[in-house]
């Protein structure tokens, strides 16, 4: 899960430069928060490589990842931990 979320985060949030803060602490907090929301939802059904492939190919999963990242960004930006 983690590399996928990281990739999404870099492409959708870091590269466009829409984050209020780009420090490593905020980035890590956002990633961890999103991962905490996503991991329990998917690890029970699929595992390992099959799981990672499923996410890359599944539009619903991709939109879930984006949704949780967006939520995590607003939570962390409202309460930065740096
Ligand atoms: Zn920060």
pLDDT along the chain (82 residues), means of 10: 84 93 95 87 61 71 90 96 90
| Domain total in the chain | 1
Give the Å distance between the CA of 70 and the centre of ligand 1. 16
Other CB atoms within 10 A of residue 26 CB: 18
Query: How far is Cα 58 from Cα 78, in angstroms, rounded to an integer?
Result: 31
Q: Is residue 38 part of a domain?
A: yes
What pLDDT is attached to residue 41? 65
What pLDDT is attached to residue 82? 92
Domain that holds residue 39: 2-10+22-78
What pLDDT is attached to residue 2? 77
Q: Is residue 66 part of a domain?
A: yes
Q: Is residue 16 part of a domain?
A: no
Under 8 Å between Cβ of 69 and 5:
yes
What pLDDT is attached to residue 25? 96
Q: Is residue 15 part of a domain?
A: no
What pLDDT is attached to residue 49? 67
Q: Is residue 64 part of a domain?
A: yes
Give the Å distance between the CA of 28 and the centre of ligand 1. 9
Q: Is residue 53 part of a domain?
A: yes
What pLDDT is attached to residue 58? 77
Half-sphere exposure (CA, 13 Å, Cβ side) for 78? 6
């Amino acid at each position: 899960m983690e590399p996928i979320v990281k990739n999404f985060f870099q492409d959708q949030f870091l590269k466009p430069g829409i984050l209020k803060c780009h420090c490593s602490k905020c980035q890590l907090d956002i990633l961890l928060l999103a991962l905490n929301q996503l991991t329990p939802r998917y690890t029970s059904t699929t595992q390992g490589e099959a799981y990672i492939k499923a996410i890359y190919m599944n539009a619903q999963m991709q939109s879930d990842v984006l949704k949780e990242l967006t939520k995590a960004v607003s939570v962390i930006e409202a309460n930065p931990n740096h």
